[in-house]
Amino acid sequence: MFAYIARRILYVIPIALGVTVIIFGLVHIAPGDPLNAVVPPDAPKETVQILIEAYGFDKPIPVQYAIWLGRALSGDFGISFATGRPVAEAIAGGVVNTLILAAGAILIGMTLGCLIGAIAGYYQGSWIDKLATGFAIAGVSVPHYWLGLVLVIIFSVEMNVLPAMGMGPGGAKDWAWDQAHMRHLILPVITLSVIPIGIITRSVRATVAEILTMEFVQTLEAKGLKSFRIFLHVCANAAPTVLAVSGLQIGYLLGGSILVETVFSWPGTGFLLNDAIFRRDIPLLQGVILVLAMFFVVMNLLVDILQSLIDPRMARS
Amino acid sequence: MADTTPVAAGLAEAAIDDTQVAAKSRSYWTTVWQSLLRDPVTLVFAGILITILMSTIFADVLAPADPFKTNMVKRLKPIGTPGFLLGADELGRDMLSRLLHGGRLSLVMGISPVALALVIGGMLGLTAGFLGGKTNMAIMRTIDVFYAFPSVLLAIAISGALGAGIVNAIISLTIVFIPPIARVTESVTTQIRNLDYVEAARASGANAFTIIRAHVLSNVAGPVFIYSTSLISVSIILASGLSFLGLGTEPPKPEWGLMLNTLRQSIYVSPWVAALPGAMIFLTSLSFNMLSDGLRTAMDIRL
Amino acid sequence: MRAPLLHVSGLKKYFPIKGGVLNRTVAQVQAVDFVDFDVARGETLGIVGESGCGKSTTARLLMHLIRPDSGAVVFDGMEVGSREGIAVHDMRKRMQMVFQDSYSSLNPRLPVEGSIAFGPMVHGLGQTAARARARDLLAKVGLDPNLFIRRYPHELSGGQRQRVNIARALALEPEVLILDEAVSALDKSVEAQVLNLLMDLKREFDLTFVFISHDLNVVRYVSDRVLVMYLGKVVEIGDVDAIYESPRHPYTRALLSAMPSMDPDRRTDAPPLTGDPPNPINPPSGCRFHTRCPFAEKVCELKAPALRSIRAGGAQSVACHMAEAGSGHSKSSAEGLPA
């Protein structure tokens, strides 16, 4: 067990390094001189010279990578040439706002996903199962940026009951846990939760249906146990799978929220990315991607470790 | 040699002659086809998909108007306006015509990355799975690095760096889909490699290439193909998503994701016209998902 | 004695077990540990032992499907895979194998014809000739070519599939056939039919068999000589009558006593084996059987017994301290364990 966890943690190091190599490479796949990707076109000569030296563009690529990595590790992702402010500053604010969305979505996703999935798996083949399965497939097939737009049309345009944009009244940039801000949370969180609901429903349904066919459940039935008690047994056995799927979904949500944030003008990482793309601000792009990817890597690691603690068989395979 | 033991000899006489009993012959594909015919849901979605494919292919004939022709007077007309069956967009272009034409790019941008990734990822996975050992390590660990990115993020990162454009979007999505396809191919190949019929083929003196061609490929192809069809659904959403962010197609070309993006500004004037392109993306993606599910059941494939 | 068709010496294969933080090799399964034996042309050598004793690994080593760590397989006087010997590719044309699992040993996407014709085509036979050979062989293994040639594996019964596997193995016209539990998975009645078929084919094609099975009745029925394996080691080898009538190794005796027999005279009173075989990852020191042997003494723990001939002409050899005079075992004699 300990060996498995230790090995799993050690294994993250090469993966994380690989991720940084890819992100570093983004500057070099950008068309034109890599210098143009990090230096604003209207920068004065002296600034250009300083930047060349800072990034080491006059040095071989491995050295450039080492310089870049060293700076990134110390939290210095460069200067955004759209705002002229350090990238790290912008990211810090964006990550918090994105996490608010992702946390809300995963909460709804896990609750509804487990509930619908368990019911569908328990009454396999019934109309309720067919409905849930259909809903789950629709959930994973829907372009969520469009779903967000449809929700805006229904609740903001047609009914005018919920705000369509921003994270607070009057384009507020700071979050507060009050009713005015919470109203802004409703539509984006619902939009974002549709995919986790779909995926968690599917896997919970499959797990529950599989466990129900196992002999130990039939033994419980033969022993005359009430169906509710059996249901609890099944839930306990389905837990590791649900946990794994949900954990991964948090990671996906961080990435997937980009398009939804664009729809709702939510000032999170997605909004930053959108900005970076629009202004071809490569340092900002690299910084945001790096932070989100690392988050995903750590999330994966935590899920694996937690799963191996719950179900030791995982560690052995 | 020892005398015949009572066990063996006695039973040999008493037994039914095993060589005379033959099952009715039905090829694998006949079985698949017959179980598909008994699955109305899959057939319905296959029908929808064929309709979408056909209407985009023959958009030139079917479209009532020129998808590029602007008309300032007819801007943002609602659905059902005479002459504009599905309304008009922000430049007064006929929505029905643009939706029909827009499907072409959306489908090409959605399907071609999966097809390319199927070739590249399939070869990588086949090589890693069949050769095993250090080759497997090298390929699969590199794949793991790409797996460390959520797919949307990776697509946006590469597209964002490469810049807008259809080709760039296809390149970045291909890179996104190579890792999952390589992984599935690798795991299926590894399973098959350890089966006795591959051992038997090795025992008959065949080299690796011959074994892959004659024994591995035919058994890996089914599961990997089905898995890839389920990725098309994701790919179409992502491709249109890139256009939605301004990273795919550039105006004035009709493409569902881009149309959604430009019409987004007009939801307060003509809300439901703005929702139409997204509905097409949804319907197409859903159909691919349902078809993939149905085929998987019919082909009895578990991944 | 003539030079054997197959000569195996010092064959060894350990499988590494990875573990620990850095995934290093932490232990090894000693699957096959310095195994020697000969197979004469035209005979059937039976190999018996409990599951996990290394029978199947030995079969795969003979075919070079896995590489031995050390040791040599000499085929018809030529060392397999060495520079001056015979190439693996050429050896495989002359030695073929039938696997235990009749289903997984046939490609589900190939009709019977394709499976049988594959080998000959690999070795350069044209497609038409290979197909003709497939039809021929199908008839030889008792399946009507007109009825079966286009069939897929899932449309055949277990016995029919195993017949196809035999035909596939014979398609290269080999001299040696390794049968790795080839009839074990079949129903008893079908097993008998397939065994009779094998004996007929052996006569018709002058084949040499290496017959691996855990079923002692079947091994007695088909074998000329028998090799008994325990945890990767040969414990006893000899003529079938010698082994079955006067087993000298306590393990062989225990195996035979556990064997169901319809003949009351053949039932022995030797103590049956108790417990599972020890873990092959860390096999017992000295004689590997000492943990389960009713006669085990100090010397058995300390020293591994060598395989020694106890009858003239190699009719019976046994690896037991009791069969070696002066070995230090209180019951030791030149004949081994008394009957």
Q: Give yes or no for A183 touching B (CB within 8 A).
A: no
pLDDT at C228: 95
Structurally, at CATH architecture level, domain C226-339 sits in 3-Layer(aba) Sandwich (3.40)
Chain C residues touching B210 at Cβ < 8 A: 122
pLDDT at B2: 42
Spatial distance between the Cα atoms of B240 and B106, rounded to a whole number of angstroms: 6
Are B157 and A16 in contact (CB < 8 Å)?
Answer: no
Q: What does pTM read for this prediction?
A: 0.85
Those residues of chain C whose CB sits closer than 8 Å to some CB in chain A are 19-23
pLDDT at B152: 87
Mean pLDDT, rounded, for A5-26 = 89
Are C196 and B12 in contact (CB < 8 Å)?
Answer: yes
> Hey, what are B4's tokens?
């015949």
Q: Give yes or no for A10 touching C (CB within 8 A).
A: yes
Buried-exposed string B38-59: b where 16+ CB fall within 10 A, e elsewhere: ebeebeebbebbeebbeebeeb
Sheet holding C24-39, edge to edge: C24-39, C6-19, C70-75, C78-79
Tens-digit pLDDT profile for residues C163-200: 999 999 999 999 999 999 988 888 888 899 899 999 99
Q: Is residue B276 pLDDT above 60, yes or no?
A: yes
pLDDT at B53: 93
pLDDT at B1: 41
Which are the contacts of B130, defined by CB distance < 8 A and separation ≥ 6? B189, B193, B208, B211, B212, B216
Q: Give yes or no for A123 touching B (CB within 8 A).
A: no
Nearest CA in chain C to B218: C109
Going by pLDDT thresholds of 50, 70 and 90, the confidence category of residue C266 is: low
Cα-trace Rg, chain C = 21
**A143 in Cβ contact with B241 (< 8 Å):** yes
Q: What residues does each domain of chain B span?
A: 26-62+93-299
Q: Is residue B7 pLDDT above 50, yes or no?
A: no
CATH topology of domain B26-62+93-299: MetI-like fold (1.10.3720)
Which of C57, C61, C62, C105 is the best mutation test for B, with the most CBs of B within 10 A? C105
Spatial distance between the Cα atoms of A215 and A222, rounded to a whole number of angstroms: 10
Are C119 and B2 in contact (CB < 8 Å)?
Answer: no
Chain C neighbours, 3+ Cβ pairs < 8 A: A, B
Going by pLDDT thresholds of 50, 70 and 90, the confidence category of residue B6 is: very low
Mean pLDDT, rounded, for B6-16 = 46
Is ipTM beyond 0.95? no
> Hey, what are C252's tokens?
């062989």
Mean pLDDT, rounded, for B246-258 = 86
Q: Give yes or no for B144 touching A (CB within 8 A).
A: yes
Chain C residues touching A10 at Cβ < 8 A: 21-22
Q: Give yes or no for B99 touching A (CB within 8 A).
A: no
Q: Is residue B4 pLDDT above 80, yes or no?
A: no
Are A285 and B160 in contact (CB < 8 Å)?
Answer: yes
Calculate how close chain C gets to A201, using CA atoms only, in Å.
34
pLDDT at A172: 62
Q: Is residue C262 pLDDT above 90, yes or no?
A: no
Are C115 and B197 in contact (CB < 8 Å)?
Answer: yes
Q: Which of C100, C110, C142 sits opposite B19 (nearest CB)?
A: C142
Chain C residues touching B17 at Cβ < 8 A: 193
pLDDT at C257: 83
Q: What residues does each domain of chain C span?
A: 226-339
Q: Is residue B29 pLDDT above 90, yes or no?
A: no
Q: Is residue B21 pLDDT above 70, yes or no?
A: no
Mean pLDDT, rounded, for C312-323 = 86
Q: Which of A25-34, A104-113, A283-292, C190-199 has the lowest mean pLDDT?
A: A25-34
Angle, CA B129 vertex, CA B114 and CA C119 arms, to 5°: 110
Q: Is residue B61 pLDDT above 60, yes or no?
A: yes
Going by pLDDT thresholds of 50, 70 and 90, the confidence category of residue C336 is: low
Which of C17, C21, C23 is the best mutation test for A, with the most CBs of A within 10 A? C21
Helical residues (DSSP H) of chain C, grouped into ranges: 55-62, 88-94, 112-122, 127-140, 145-148, 158-170, 188-205, 216-222, 240-245, 250-257, 298-302
Tens-digit pLDDT profile for residues B74-107: 777 777 777 777 777 777 788 888 899 989 999 9
Q: Is residue A140 pLDDT above 70, yes or no?
A: yes
Tens-digit pLDDT profile for residues B126-180: 999 999 889 999 999 999 999 888 888 899 999 988 888 899 999 999 999 999 9
pLDDT at B12: 45
Which of A129, A144, A146 is the best mutation test for B, with the most CBs of B within 10 A? A146
Spatial distance between the Cα atoms of B130 and A204, rounded to a whole number of angstroms: 33
Tens-digit pLDDT profile for residues C41-81: 999 999 998 888 889 899 999 999 988 999 999 999 899 98
Are B16 and C189 in contact (CB < 8 Å)?
Answer: yes
pLDDT > 90: what percent of chain B? 43
C-alpha C101 chain-centroid distance = 15
Q: Is residue C261 pLDDT above 50, yes or no?
A: yes
**B88 in Cβ contact with B75 (< 8 Å):** yes
User: What are the Cα distances from residue B49, in Å, to B87, B275, B280, B290?
Assistant: 24, 20, 11, 10
More confident residue, C254 or C327: C254
Are A18 and B144 in contact (CB < 8 Å)?
Answer: yes
Chain B residues touching A19 at Cβ < 8 A: 145, 148-149
Work out how many CB contacts closer than 8 A connect A with C. 10
Are A143 and B152 in contact (CB < 8 Å)?
Answer: no
Going by pLDDT thresholds of 50, 70 and 90, the confidence category of residue C272 is: low
Q: Is residue A221 pLDDT above 80, yes or no?
A: no
Angle, CA B213 vertex, CA B211 and CA B215 arms, to 5°: 55
Calculate how close chain A gets to C232, using CA atoms only, in Å.
26
Going by pLDDT thresholds of 50, 70 and 90, the confidence category of residue A206 is: confident
Going by pLDDT thresholds of 50, 70 and 90, the confidence category of residue C206 is: very high
Mean pLDDT, rounded, for C300-316 = 86
Q: Which of A37-51, B103-117, C200-214, C319-333 has the lowest mean pLDDT?
A: A37-51
Q: Which of C107, C188, C240 sits opposite B197 (nearest CB)?
A: C107
Calculate how close chain A gets to B150, using CA atoms only, in Å.
5
Q: Is residue A191 pLDDT above 80, yes or no?
A: yes
pLDDT at C263: 64
pLDDT at C94: 93
Q: Give yes or no for A289 touching B (CB within 8 A).
A: yes
Q: Is residue C271 pLDDT above 70, yes or no?
A: no
Going by pLDDT thresholds of 50, 70 and 90, the confidence category of residue C256 is: confident
Going by pLDDT thresholds of 50, 70 and 90, the confidence category of residue A217 is: confident
Q: Whole-number mean pLDDT of chain C?
A: 87
Are A141 and B282 in contact (CB < 8 Å)?
Answer: yes
Q: Which of B11-15, B268-272, C82-86, C298-302 has the lowest mean pLDDT?
A: B11-15
Q: Is residue A50 pLDDT above 60, yes or no?
A: yes
Tens-digit pLDDT profile for residues C84-133: 889 998 999 999 999 988 888 999 888 999 999 999 999 888 999 999 99
